[in-house]
Amino acid sequence: MGLLAVMGVVSCVGLTGIPDLNTPDGRVYAQRCGGCHAGGHGVPDPRFRTMAEWLEVLPKMDHLIQERTLPPLTEMERESITRYLSTHAKS
């Protein structure tokens, strides 16, 4: 994804009130999750699911990434996304 596309994802979802997308973990979340979610409703608000629910969703997203022939998440990206979600998930 090009820099302008990433900036567009971050700026669009930034308007939705999703927290901390300007942090390093938030940028990884916006970039990687926004690759698929940017087209309609934007990246999911992490506050809509508990961390337990996110842990069930993430493997499904891995499968969709593979189906769409996108590059798989690196271990660092996965850790960043998990850290971001655990910070902002519904309690």
Q: What is the CA radius of gyration of the chain?
A: 12
Whole-angstrom Cα distance, residue 53 to residue 62?
A: 15
Name the pLDDT band for 64 (thresholds 50, 70, 90).
Answer: very high
**pLDDT tens digit sequence for 36-45:** 887 656 899 9
* Domains of the chain: total: 1
User: Contact 13/30 with Cβ under 8 angstroms?
Assistant: yes
Confidence class of residue 4 from pLDDT cuts 50, 70 and 90?
A: very low
The CA distance from 49 to 33, in Å, is: 15
List the domain range (segments joined by +) for residue 75. 3-88
Is there a contact between 44 and 13 (Cβ–Cβ < 8 Å)? no
Q: Say how far apart CA 21 and CA 25 lie, in whole Å.
A: 8
